[in-house]
Amino acid sequence: MAAILGGGLGGLSTGYYLLKNNVTSNNNLKLFLLEATNYCGGWIKSIRTKDYIFEQGPRTIRPKGIVGLNTLNMMQDLGLSEHIAPIKPGHPAAKNRMIYVNNTLHLLPSSLKGVFQRNDPFSKPLIYAVFKDLKQPIKEMKDDSIYNFVERRFGKEIADYAISPMICGICAGDAKEITVKFLMKTLFEYEQNHGSVMKGFMKSIFKTKNGQELELSELARKAQEEKWNVYTIKGGLETFPTILHEHLKENNVNISLNSKVEEIEFIDSSTVKLKKGNGETLSVSHVYSSIPSHALAKLVQKQHPELAKSLGEIPFVTVAIVNLYFATDKPLISPAFGFLVPPIENSPILGVVFDSCCLPDQKGTVLTVMLGGKWFEEKFGKDITEKRLLEIATKEIDSILNIKDKPAAHNVNILNKCIPQYVIGHYERVDKIRDYIQNNNLPISVIGSSYDGIGVNDVIYSAKTQVEEDCVK
């Protein structure tokens, strides 16, 4: 018997790959999935009505790279191809991404031509950043913050107005703390190995690429050919975990909702006991943990305090989401993906997504305001109410987008400790966690957004990699 801990996308994907690799049928292995709440899908939650969809967690998925194509393979396999809504290159949501600086919305360049022109709030065309990189001497380092790296190589304006808001948009974090390896590992290696990013990049063009191969499904090939920017699922992203959940149930995975695991006891290298909140115990030969690292830390604390310490050191931030629906015939916004606010602007909001432009099946104007993240407590304290967050969000919408209408519907949610922060040293910490598990022969694999990447694609790929590694052991 094996058990998956957690029924978010990481746990569901682990079940999918265990079935796909015939791990259960070949070994006559009974598979359990234990989820603490009454819902499988974790942070993926959609509120659907006939007029609008409010996404409370993720809303779009990137199709690019091996991890993006892998997700599309899985979508096709699950019969989701017809439900995919791509945003293609010509679409305003693909071209128009903005930042809010000095009380004005500025479009970020989306074409090569734009790089040669001066665009506010930048004082020079972005191409000048390349010259700075070529002149700048190398600084030998093992790791660095993404902000420091970009400031050193390309200048302070790029760090403040391009990278810092991007980090807010991706992980609601502070670019001054997030490791450069989170998004720019290759660029950092170019600097460290070749003296500048551009020199490393030029040399890489002439090297034969020996990246991992992936057999592509029809859907993945279509996404490549049509150059999809991002995509979502018609009717809401929640359809994805719902279909995965059904797939696991149909294939005899024993899924227990409302089953919070309170403690893990390792007996030997192939026996582990899971103690549930209701006093029941489940004994299995292997555990695939997809719960957040801070939650796993508590479960292993008694027997393995050193492992618990490393797990507990991965920081998480809290984000508030305010979804707003305005029942208007004419859109209240110009077509775009939305805008982000750089932290130096010291705004109460992180950014706004224009859902009625990005997601299908929306009537009127639908917006999502994101607040908090790394600065949640600093800005709002510990006891902020949902009502107050709604007031803050609507005030900002009025002041930035000049929307005076009252929303016809809204939803406010405080997502406590929802996004892990890959701060400097993150990848070394994850190696330390996996080394400890291996050296102590613990029958557990760690999967999910705490370790191998924070996006939907990364979590699915993390499940695939961990399951396949266990299969070859």
Ligand X SMILES: Cc1cc2nc3c(=O)[nH]c(=O)nc-3n(C[C@H](O)[C@H](O)[C@H](O)COP(=O)(O)OP(=O)(O)OC[C@H]3O[C@@H](n4cnc5c(N)ncnc54)[C@H](O)[C@@H]3O)c2cc1C
CA distances in angstroms from 374 to 173, 285, 419, listed in the order given:
5, 38, 10
- Based on CB atoms, which residue is closest to ligand X, 197 or 419? 419
**Residue 308 binds to ligand X (criterion: CB under 6 A):** no
Q: How far is the CB of 360 from ligand X (least distance, A)?
A: 16
Only one residue has tokens 């420091």, namely 148
Q: How far is the CB of 352 from ligand X (least distance, A)?
A: 13
**Residue 10 binds to ligand X (criterion: CB under 6 A):** yes
Q: How far is the CB of 6 from ligand X (least distance, A)?
A: 3
**Residue 57 binds to ligand X (criterion: CB under 6 A):** yes
**Residue 37 binds to ligand X (criterion: CB under 6 A):** yes
**Residue 15 binds to ligand X (criterion: CB under 6 A):** no
> Which window, 55-63, 73-81, 246-254, 391-399, contacts ligand X (CB under 6 A)?
55-63
Which 404-423 residues touch ligand X, going by CB under 6 A? 415, 418-419
Only one residue has tokens 């110009």, namely 334
**Residue 42 binds to ligand X (criterion: CB under 6 A):** yes
For residue 61, what are the β-bridge partners? Answer: 231
**Count of residues of this chain found to bind ligand X when the rule CB under 6 A is applied:** 36
**Residue 43 binds to ligand X (criterion: CB under 6 A):** yes
- Tell me, residue by residue from 238 to 257, as one string, x for binding to ligand X by CB under 6 A and - for no binding: --------------------
Reported as type and span, the H/E element at residue 459 is: helix 456-472
**Residue 219 binds to ligand X (criterion: CB under 6 A):** no
Residue from 2, 3, 31, 61 touching ligand X (CB under 6 A): that is: 61
* Among 102, 187, 107, CA closest to 150: 187
Residue from 6, 68, 351, 443 touching ligand X (CB under 6 A): that is: 6
**Residue 63 binds to ligand X (criterion: CB under 6 A):** no
Peptide bond preceding 121: is omega within 30 degrees of 0, i.e. cis? yes
The strand ranges marked E within 35-91 are: 46-48, 53-55, 84-87
HEC readout, 200-245: HHHHHHCCCCCCCCCCCCHHHHHHHHCCCCEEEECCCCCHHHHHHH
**Residue 448 binds to ligand X (criterion: CB under 6 A):** yes
**Residue 336 binds to ligand X (criterion: CB under 6 A):** no
Q: How far is the CB of 373 from ligand X (least distance, A)?
A: 9
**Residue 297 binds to ligand X (criterion: CB under 6 A):** no
Q: How far is the CB of 45 from ligand X (least distance, A)?
A: 10
- Based on CB atoms, which residue is closest to ligand X, 80 or 158? 80
Query: Distance between CA atoms of 457 and 473, rounded to whole angstroms?
Result: 25
Encode burial over 115-125: b for 16+ CB neighbours within 10 A, e otherwise.
eeeeeeebeee
Query: Distance between CA atoms of 326 and 409, rounded to whole angstroms?
Result: 7
Encode burial over 402-436: b for 16+ CB neighbours within 10 A, e otherwise.
ebeeebebbbbbbbeebbbbbbbebbebbebbbee
Residue from 17, 18, 31, 59 touching ligand X (CB under 6 A): that is: 59
| Number of helices (H), then strands (E), in the chain | 20, 19
Strands 84-87, 230-233: pairing kind:
antiparallel
Asked if residue 17 lies in contact with residue 464, where contact means CB atoms within 8 angstroms, the answer is yes
- Interhelix angle 426-439/181-194, rounded to 10 degrees, is 100
> Which window, 36-44, 154-162, 265-273, 388-396, contacts ligand X (CB under 6 A)?
36-44
Q: How far is the CB of 424 from ligand X (least distance, A)?
A: 21
**Residue 295 binds to ligand X (criterion: CB under 6 A):** yes
- Based on CB atoms, which residue is closest to ligand X, 291 or 333? 291
Sheet holding 261-268, edge to edge: 261-268, 271-276, 281-284
Q: How far is the CB of 13 from ligand X (least distance, A)?
A: 8
Which 275-294 residues touch ligand X, going by CB under 6 A? 290-292
**Residue 94 binds to ligand X (criterion: CB under 6 A):** no
Q: How far is the CB of 65 from ligand X (least distance, A)?
A: 12
Strands 31-34, 254-256: pairing kind:
parallel
Which residues here bind ligand X, judged by CB under 6 A? 5-11, 34-37, 42-44, 57-61, 260-261, 290-292, 295, 319, 321, 415, 418-419, 448-449, 454-456, 459
